[in-house]
Amino acid sequence: AAFGDYAVATGAGSTAVGPGASATVANGTAIGNGATVTAANSVALGAGSVASEANTVSVGASGSERRVTNVAAGVNATDAVNVAQLQAATAGFGSSIAGLQSQVSGLQTRVDDNQREARSGTALALAATGLRYDNRPGKASLAAAFGHYRGQSGLAVGLGYAVSDRWRVNAAFSGAPDVSDYGVVAGASLTLN
């Protein structure tokens, strides 16, 4: 049914109300001056409104949007929500996101600290392997070595003593002051043949 000057309702079960209103598809409803429905089962409400997608309700057109006011709070899953409901639903997001950012930042700090400690440990190990002692019987020797690995440094200082041509003992201290890592080692060796 068409009501109004130049109103057209040619689709099966369609309705056009208002001057120039047009509903040319099945079950389309156009209400308002120049309202147009071009997709089945759709509704265009208000002057110049266009419903061009199936199963939709339009209250405006591209470039001529309108607000829908006085909307009650939605209750069912398929109801529309109003701004008050949306704001209530999203109110906690800001603090939740800030909390997550803080946790991620804390994790990144721990990862960085662990990486620094691992690299420091490697530098300490490299320094300790650089210690060399005099193997001649009855000789005591002091050794120092430096190790560096991926931005971390370590220093090792050790004391060695050759008890005999077969027995040797040593002790060493190593440290990486940048990360306050320190270690101590003691050892003995026996030459078998």
Q: Are residues 104 and 178 in the same domain?
A: yes
Q: Taking residues 153-171, report their average pLDDT.
A: 94
Name, of 10-19, 68-77, 164-173, the range with top average pLDDT.
10-19
What is the rounded CA–CA span in Å between residue 168 and residue 52? 92
Whether 174 maps to a domain, the answer reads yes
pLDDT of residue 164: 94
Q: What is the pLDDT of residues 34-51, one digit of tens each?
A: 999 999 999 999 999 999
Between 1 and 191, name the one with better pLDDT: 1
Q: Are residues 100 and 165 in the same domain?
A: yes
Per the structure, the count of domains in the chain is 2
What is the rounded CA–CA span in Å between residue 25 and residue 14? 7
- The per-residue pLDDT of the chain, averaged, comes to 93
Q: Taking residues 7-27, report their average pLDDT.
A: 98
Domain holding 182, by residue range, is 84-193
Q: Are residues 118 and 32 in the same domain?
A: no
Q: Are residues 19 and 99 in the same domain?
A: no
Q: Are residues 91 and 24 in the same domain?
A: no
Q: Are residues 101 and 185 in the same domain?
A: yes
CATH number for 4? 2.150.10.10
Q: Are residues 19 and 50 in the same domain?
A: yes
Q: Are residues 92 and 140 in the same domain?
A: yes
Q: Taking residues 115-136, report their average pLDDT.
A: 92
pLDDT of residue 170: 94
Q: Are residues 137 and 170 in the same domain?
A: yes
